[in-house]
A and B are shown apart, each in its own frame.
Chain A
Amino acid sequence: MPPSDPHDDAQQVMAANKAAVSRALNLVEDRRPEAQTGVTKLLAELKDAPKAAGGHRVGLTGPPGVGKSTLTSALARSVRQRGRTVGVVAIDPSSIRSGGSLLGDRARMSFDPSDEGLFVRSLATAGVVGGLAYAANSAVRVLAAAYDMVVIETTGVGQSEIDIVHVADTVVLVIQPGSGDVLQFLKAGIMEIPDILVVNKADHDELAQRAVSDLRGALQTAHAVGAGSGQDVNWETPILATSATQGTGIDELIDTLDEHRQHLEATLAGRRRQGEVQWTLDLFSRKHGEHGVSTLGGLAQLKARAERDLDGGQTPLSLCERLSREYVTALGKTP
């Protein structure tokens, strides 16, 4: 392929040209060292995209089999009906043995192929044990520059939850009636309390009612033991019941998402910045380990440094590159 101009590419991404968005996503997935400069440039170009600042990044997570793909599909359709555009990143685990993956989320989604305002990309976790996919952070930046809402759908209860907090403005935890494990995790404070809780597959009123009240109880216990994000005391986690197959509760979910986005208005920039700081630290420590972190002055100092430099116009990727260079230089000086 001929070399492309990052500025033009970024313009086309911001215009939500599907071919350009797809190319940009291919680029951020590219792990070859020679691709990194391109990724860094592209993300720098997209950093101040008009869509990105006003948009909404929604993380949808929960155990396997609770109907997240179908819910994502129903959510995307309804958001489209409200005239907003949607980009979806669906993340599935890679096989540990083969490195391959089965990305099956599209199979549960029905959408109009001629709709220019909806874009779905599946990503595999590719060796990032328990976490988001390698390119997920960057992919969200690309889609956020092109679409009004970005939905990050990921399976799992564990590490990926913690990661998703750093990339999403609003974290939605999806469970189904009778999810005892999740209740226990919440109660024990093993799991972060999400911004919104959804009981999906609530086709049977009675079961759904019971699930909702079980959750309410679990949240109370969790608060009592002092679990939870602790960052946002002004937001009481709403509990919703949906049936993605029957399409019930979806409008309410969108309204609640909008409410949370509104609620975040004043703090959103700070929240996203915290996510970027965390992303920078993750990138750096994955690359250089504890030794890297301590060589550059320890975690607290690195964190403060990241906050300052990101404010100064760096992106997590460019900052990480700079930190890497400093580390290598420092290594050269060590006897």
Chain B
Amino acid sequence: MAEYGKRERDRPWIMRTYSGHSTAAASNELYRTNLAKGQTGLSVAFDLPTQTGYDADDPLARGEVGKVGVPVSHIGDMRALFDGLPLDQMNTSMTINATAVWLLSLYVAAAQDQGVDPSVLRGTTQNDIIKEYLSRGTHIFPPAASMRLTTDLITYTVSEVPKWNPINICSYHLQEAGATPTQELAYALVTAIGVLDAVKATGRVPESDFGKVVGRMSFFVNAGIRFVEELCKMRAFVELWDRVTRERYGVTDPKQRRFRYGVQVNSLGLTEQQPENNVIRIVLEMLAVTLSKDARARAIQLPAWNEALGLPRPWDQQWSLRAQQILADESDLLEYADLFKGSEVVEAQTQRLVDSAWAEVQEVLKRGGAVEAVESGYIKQRLVESNAARLRAIENGDRVVVGVNKYVEGAPSPLTENLDEAILTVDPEVDASQRAALARWKEERDNAAVEQALAELQRVAKTDENMMTASIAAAHAGVTTGEWANTLREVWGEYRAPTGVAGATVKTSGSGPAAETIARLRKRLDELEVRMGRRPKLLVGKPGLDGHSNGAEQIAIKARDVGFDVVYEGIRVSPEQIVASALEEGVHLIGLSILSGSHLALVPEVVRRLRDAGLGDVPVVAGGIIPEADAERLRRDGVAAVYTPKDFELDNIMSDLIDLVDRQHAAE
């Protein structure tokens, strides 16, 4: 029936690449190239200082400026980022949460400077703080203040920027944190419910307009390699959201009840071993969110094949974009109605997910809802447990990962012949140049106007007025990201979220080779304790602003389960804090986890400070996305061992750690 020639096709989804690095000018150039290659939307990656409300000159920003995204400190940076890109024609997605109100204010102000009326702006602010507490770790303020910022942004855009998606509820990071499909569905839905209830509680939206708010809610979803299940998960999402919006919020307009979502497919399952295989994984995962017409993504961004090695280069990102274009424009997918309607298999699996997720939604609501279940650590603990189970299944081979625990032999890949050139490296000078530019900015602006704008921000923060108006005025006045956030820190304080590790229970089998390994490790630690007089004590630290704590959490739990006393400090600790903790706690060993690429700045600093504090003999190991050349340098600087994603066998790491303590004790 296929005829050559024109057929009616659905409009393809928006194609984006999550990108940004170094400086606003460098990122602007990247965006222009990406748009020229046929990308249809922008997805801005901000660096960690911008995401967590610090300027480049803050001590906490050390080593992080321009690393995982672009630094945007003020309206000058925002103008440079979109130089020559007319904002009335862009569809811009911003991965920004704790500082979302601020970055949207800069965007609105930059649009006004371009002569664009904010009411025509299109795009998305991620603005989902719950999953930051649970997984991504870029939160700043306590839950109540954070939810207030979230609802301020929503109520502002619903009336002033009606085509904007004010929030992207993220199940994406829940899956990265280990969530099962059921958990992903349930925790995303309770987050949405928590946000909508909070908007309702502001009393700012008239009852008759509430459907509009519901209609602007959008989701950001993950798609993993079990792509049939993932496909069913997306269909379950559609059904559950329809139920929530109808039953809980009484929305009658079906358009406002539609489940609108964007996707970044799974980065967690990308492998460092035989990394070229990741291209196939990425394509399969994309199918899960595109094949169902009735549950198709509205925007997709794909990771690059080499993300487990380091930062992708433009060519790597182009390869992923081409995958989308081939599926949308070259294949016949968009010519058909829903492919699975009436499929018994798909419908049954979808129903199973709907039922199990709904039960978990009720469980969380019974516990007081999403915010309460974050503060009590309930959700976090469930995620940590699921992640431990996932890793165990990979370790013992129950879950096949090609090239990792099966079919590991392979010819050398020409793609990674020169590993150091197979990834992007950020110029280490970016840090200094951004600091210098910031100093110039502060010198040239009208500081009296800045003071006034900050005073107004502080005043509004103490009331229940919307923060947007004062923030947009502050953007125009030349206020910086750090100044905005620090003003609010003074009013609201900061928050350290539950880590979920202490109460997490991990099921271990009582017999078999895995149980024997654990028993052997426990016995060695018991013997060491007798010899040393104290049980070996491990400090797990996450220096820098990177909040991806899953790796550190799993190491901490595993170490406890083989018998270490483990001090885990949570995310965002400075090298000074790590050394102070090591001293006060009397630890025998330190493990550092860094995924933001700032390991070369942070790890040697910890080692140096330990030496200065008289703790030079405490062994330090590091884990993260660390290219081999960097690992070599770290080892030369005195790091005892470096672990990367290819070291998935936690038992082996534990055995190494015990060796290190043993050797150190013998030397004393």
Q: With a CB–CB cut-off of 8 A, which chain A residues contact B580?
A: 113-114
A22 to B584, CA, bound (A): 5
Q: With a CB–CB cut-off of 8 A, which chain A residues contact B585?
A: 22, 103, 106, 120-122
- How far, in Å, is B197 (CB) from chain A's closest CB? 15
Q: Is the CB of B502 within 8 A of A92?
A: yes
Q: B142, B560, B583 — which one has the most chain A CB atoms within 10 A of its CB? A: B560
The answer, yes or no, to whether A246 is at the interface (CB within 8 Å) is yes
The answer, yes or no, to whether A180 is at the interface (CB within 8 Å) is no
Among A6-14, A29-37, A312-320, the stretch in contact with B: A29-37
Question: Total A-B residue pairs with C-beta atoms closer than 8 Å?
Answer: 127
Category for how many chain B residues contact A? 35 or more
> Do A106 and B569 contact each other (CB < 8 Å), given the known contacts A22-B586, A65-B376?
yes
- How far, in Å, is B577 (CB) from chain A's closest CB? 4
The answer, yes or no, to whether A245 is at the interface (CB within 8 Å) is yes
Q: A25, A64, A98, A111 — which one has the most chain B CB atoms within 10 A of its CB? A: A98
Q: With a CB–CB cut-off of 8 A, which chain A residues contact B577?
A: 111, 113
Among B27-35, B307-315, B489-497, the stretch in contact with A: B489-497
The answer, yes or no, to whether B69 is at the interface (CB within 8 Å) is no
> Which chain A residue lies CB-closest to B496?
A108
Q: B143, B495, B566, B576 — which one has the most chain A CB atoms within 10 A of its CB? A: B566
B568 touches which one: A21, A104, A109, A124 (CB < 8 A)? A104
Q: With a CB–CB cut-off of 8 A, which chain A residues contact B562?
A: 98, 100
B493 touches which one: A29, A31, A100, A245 (CB < 8 A)? A245
- How far, in Å, is A123 (CB) from chain B's closest CB? 9
Q: Is the CB of A99 within 8 A of B586?
A: no
The answer, yes or no, to whether B294 is at the interface (CB within 8 Å) is no
The answer, yes or no, to whether B579 is at the interface (CB within 8 Å) is yes
Residue-wise interface mask of A (92-121) relative to B, using a CB-CB cutoff of 8 A (1 in contact, 0 not): 101101111111101111110110000111
Q: With a CB–CB cut-off of 8 A, which chain A residues contact B115?
A: none
Residue-wise interface mask of B (347-388) relative to A, using a CB-CB cutoff of 8 A (1 in contact, 0 not): 000000000000000000000000000011100000000000
Q: With a CB–CB cut-off of 8 A, which chain A residues contact B613?
A: 19
A165 to B526, CA, bound (A): 31
A100 touches which one: B142, B499, B525, B568 (CB < 8 A)? B525
Q: Is the CB of A1 within 8 A of B560?
A: no
Q: Is the CB of B586 within 8 A of A121?
A: yes
Q: Is the CB of A30 within 8 A of B499?
A: no
Q: With a CB–CB cut-off of 8 A, which chain A residues contact B535?
A: 99-100, 124, 126
- How far, in Å, is A151 (CB) from chain B's closest CB? 14
Q: Is the CB of B583 within 8 A of A19?
A: yes
Category for how many chain A residues contact B? 35 or more
A114 to B377, CA, bound (A): 30
Q: Is the CB of B563 within 8 A of A29?
A: no
Q: Is the CB of B533 within 8 A of A64?
A: no
The answer, yes or no, to whether B501 is at the interface (CB within 8 Å) is yes
Q: Is the CB of A31 within 8 A of B533?
A: yes
Q: Is the CB of B565 within 8 A of A18?
A: no
Q: With a CB–CB cut-off of 8 A, which chain B residues contact A94?
A: 565
The answer, yes or no, to whether B561 is at the interface (CB within 8 Å) is yes
Q: Is the CB of A108 within 8 A of B498?
A: yes
Q: Is the CB of A19 within 8 A of B614?
A: yes
Q: Is the CB of A107 within 8 A of B565?
A: no
Q: List 25 A-B contacts (CB under 8 A).
A: A22-B585, A30-B533, A65-B377, A95-B560, A97-B561, A99-B522, A100-B535, A100-B564, A102-B502, A102-B568, A104-B499, A106-B567, A106-B569, A106-B570, A106-B585, A107-B496, A107-B499, A108-B496, A114-B576, A120-B584, A121-B584, A122-B565, A201-B375, A203-B144, A246-B142
List residues of B whose CB falls within 8 A of some A CB: 142-144, 375-377, 493-496, 498-499, 501-503, 522, 525-526, 529-530, 533-535, 556-557, 559-570, 574, 576-577, 579-581, 583-586, 613-614, 668
Apart from the given pairs A100-B559, A126-B535, 6 other A-B contacts in the complex at a CB distance below 8 Å: A99-B526, A103-B585, A110-B496, A113-B576, A122-B585, A201-B375
